[in-house]
Each structure stands twice: as C-alpha cells, then as structure tokens.
Amino acid sequence: MMTSHRDEAQGFWSAFGRVTLAAAFATIPRLAFALEVHGLEHARAQPPTYLAISHKRDLDTMAPLGRIIFHRGWAALVGEVRFAMRSDSFEPGFLARVVAGPRWFIELLRLVRPISVGPILRGLGVYPLTDYSQRPGETWLREYLRVEGDARVGATLAPWMIQTLADATGNDPSAVERLMLSGLLSWRFHGPLQPRIGPDVFTGGARRRAERRVVETAKAELEVIAGWVRRGGSLYGAPEGRLSPDGRISPITSGLHRILREAPAETRLVPIMIVYDFMTTHRRRMFVTLAPPIERVPQIPQRALDETLRQTWLRSARFTCTQLGAAFLVRRATSDPNELFTLEEFTGALCQEAEALVEQGRQVDRRLLTKRGARERARGFLAFAARRGYVQRVGRWRWLATPGDLRVDVPAWDVGYRDFPLGYAWNEYTEMIAVSEPLARPCAG
C-alpha cells in the first residue's frame, strides 16, 4: 500500500511539473496569437505514438502542447509522452534567443539570459536533439568553452565570423581577435551570435573537432530517444528538424527514421499541422490541426512515409485570410494589374474561394464562410497590406494590388514571415492548394 501511495504521489508531481512546463512554454506565444486547435480526438491514438508537428516558428511546437497532452489523458501527463526539443533549448541564453518583442522588452531579456532551463527540461522528460549542421553561434561557442576551455578569438574563430562580430558591434576586427572567447558571452555580442550557423564558425583544428563532437552528440541523442520509443513510449517532436524559411514545409530529416527504425511495429504517427493568420492588424491567429494517425509507420519505406507525412500536413492545413488574401493580390496584379477593387469585391472573393475549398474537403477558417466574418478579416488584411505597400488606396473605397517582388530572401536558418510576409504567405498558399485529391495511405512493407 505504501508503494501505491508513493507511486501516486510521484505520478501527481510528474504530471504537475509537465503541465507547468507546457503552460510556461505556451503562455508566451499565446500572448501574441489566439490559438485554435482542431482534431484533438486524434491525440488519443494508442501508444506507442509519434506526435509529429510541423515547424514554422521557434516556440510554436510548445503552444498547443498543453491542449494535446491534457486531451491524451493521465498517462501522457505522468510521462507516457516525452518531448524532443532542439538542443540549444538546454543552454543558457535560450529564453533570450527565442522571445521577440519591442526594444525595451528585448533589453529586459539580458536579465534572463544566464538562466538555463536544461535541468528542468531533462527532469520532465524532454530530450535534446542536435542539428548536425546548423546551431546558434552562441551554442557552438558555449560548447567549445565547456569542452576545450577559453582561447583567443583570433586563434579559433573563422575570419568571416570575426568580421561579423566586428560589424555588429562597431569594433575593429583586430580588437575582436584579441578578445578571449568567454568575452563574447557579454550582452553586446548577443545579437550576432543568435543566427544558426555551421561548424565553419571555427577555423583549422577547432572546426574539425567541433564537427566530430556534433556528429557524436547527435548520434547519442537519437539513440536515447529511439530507446524510449523502442520500449513502447510515445514522442512529441518536429520531424523537419528546422524552421520554414520561405513558408514551404522543410525536408524531413533522417532523424525521424533513425528513431522509428527500432520502434515497435505497431507504432503510429499523428501528423499535426500549424498555419498562422498573420497578415492582419487584428490579433493574429494560430491554427493547429491534428490529422488521423498513420498506422504501423516503422514498416513503411522511408520515402513513402516522408511523402505521406508531408501530404497529410498539407491536406490538413487550414486556409486563412492570410493565404487567400495573398493569392487574391498576386492573381489580380498578374491578370489585371491596373484594375481597382473594392472591399466588397475582396470580401466576396474570400468567401467564394473559402466555400469552394470546403466543398473539396479542405480546412478553412470558419470566419471566411460568412460575409460579416470575411469582411472583418478583409479589413485587417488590407490595412496590413497597405502598411507594407502591397496595396494602394485609390480614393475612399478602392484599392490597387501592388504586391511587388515575391521572393523570400532569408538565410536557411531564418524565417521570412517578418520581412517578406506576402511572399511567405504566397508560398504557403501554392503548396497547400497543390494538394487536391484525398491522400491514399501507403501500405506497410
């Protein structure tokens, strides 16, 4: 009886800690976005289960976590579901890296920069997952200091990185070269050390040693995660391994298949798709959709599973005013570049395409299915588009589409929705709309 009470107490505190973790990570993005989750009945898929979420932004994998885990039930709260997070989440500086806000708020983040939530994450069943090729510069730096100790910047960092640090801080490159690596952890170097870069941040032998360490670390982390799934546990993670730079789904990494290689034959995968309605002056919205599980995934060939997961994500993606509005502007500028349109015409076009998509079995923001709801979203979209120069107001009631260049020009580690919102939304739309027929699930091999 004493053991039973002890187990119940441990289960309670484990559940409490995991709920607290989910709430903490969910609070920040939900201050900026309204969250809407669909398909939660699929969260109850029997274990072992891989809950595979698409990956658009830094914290979006955590925003719906509380809803999903609560719906899955007590076993998931106690520990049946564990999580895979990017390895730099376990390092000091993670909170200051992923949280965006006004300049005054960013300045406050220097107070939390030294904090590491790694011990808490590990204690609650969160596994680190290292990217072989791309990590924040600060993560490479902290690892070097931890393993090899301090050294002169000029003897360890590549010239291009030294120049980057000098340009960002207004220093002469020679002055940066004379610094010790530990000196780069000061707040003035915080900004240029946050982008994701490869081991070429180092030079000579330092680079070769860093490459060797990251490969060994990534393999060891994957083995630990695979061992949990092999024992019948469930996992919540992002198989793409990186964000979406231009709005399109990123390639699925081999890490998914290394985890599934030794998983029980009955392991199933639940695709979870995220779409944002972000081109608006209203409160932005985040739509999360859980699709029906893909059964017996360890027996499905790698390419077939990758394509099935990608197609399922896209078929379950929810069209919002952002994607449909972007498509309207691009089409209008292409077919009739000098023709004006009214708010009522724009609203009607949104409603018409939304209804056609529903008839095809696609998911749509329900606000677009009524004239009142569509008009409200249309106003917010046009106000946002006018600020960015994507439309011009002509007179009091008419607009001219001026979308301009749709290229999304950002590095592979960055995301383009902030600086290139229309091109990002157009890429989302074209990828989502290309999936027209119901998906036939592959047979296990």
* Count of residues in the chain: 445
CA angle 113, 173, 183 (to 5 degrees): 30
Letter string b/e over residues 44-76, b meaning 16 or more CB atoms within 10 A of that residue's CB: ebebbbbbbbbbbbbbbbbbbbbbbbeebeeeb
Q: Are 367 and 374 in contact (CB under 8 A)?
A: yes
The contacts of residue 438 (CB under 8 Å, 6+ apart) are 315, 361
| Residue 3: partners with Cβ closer than 8 Å, 6 or more residues away | none
Phi first, then psi, for residue 419 (nearest 5°) are: -90, -25
Contact 365, 355 (CB under 8 A): no
Count Cβ atoms below 10 Å from residue 149 Cβ, excluding itself: 9
Phi, psi of 127, rounded to the nearest 5 degrees: -100, 135
Q: Say whether domain 2-134+198-316 belongs to CATH 2.20.25.
A: no
Note whether 211 and 224 are within 8 A (CB): no
Q: Tell me the pLDDT of the chain (445 aa) as tens digits.
A: 344 555 455 555 556 666 666 566 556 556 667 889 999 999 999 999 999 999 887 667 777 887 888 888 777 766 788 888 888 888 887 877 766 555 555 666 677 777 777 777 777 778 888 887 788 899 999 999 999 999 999 999 999 999 999 999 999 999 999 999 999 999 889 889 988 889 999 999 999 999 999 999 999 999 999 999 999 999 998 898 778 889 999 999 888 998 998 899 999 999 999 999 999 999 999 999 999 999 999 999 999 999 999 999 999 999 999 999 999 999 999 998 999 999 999 999 999 999 999 999 999 999 999 999 999 999 999 999 999 999 999 988 899 999 999 999 987 767 889 999 999 999 999 999 998 655 555 555 5
Identity of the amino acid at 201: V
Angle at alpha carbon of residue 54, lines to 51 and 60, rounded to 5°: 95
Instruction: Tell me how far apart the alpha carbons of residues 265 and 259 are, in angstroms, rounded to a whole number.
Output: 12
Could you tell me if 48 and 10 are in contact, meaning their C-beta atoms sit under 8 angstroms apart? no
Q: How far apart are CA 58 and CA 417, in angstroms?
A: 13
Q: Any idea where the domains of the chain sit in the sequence? A: 2-134+198-316, 319-404
The pLDDT of residue 30:
61
DSSP for residue 18: H
Q: Is 295 helix (H, G, I), strand (E, B) or coil?
A: coil
Read off the pTM: 0.83
User: CATH fold of 319-404, please?
Assistant: Arc Repressor Mutant, subunit A (1.10.10)
Residue of 359, 368, 288 whose CA lies nearest to 320: 368
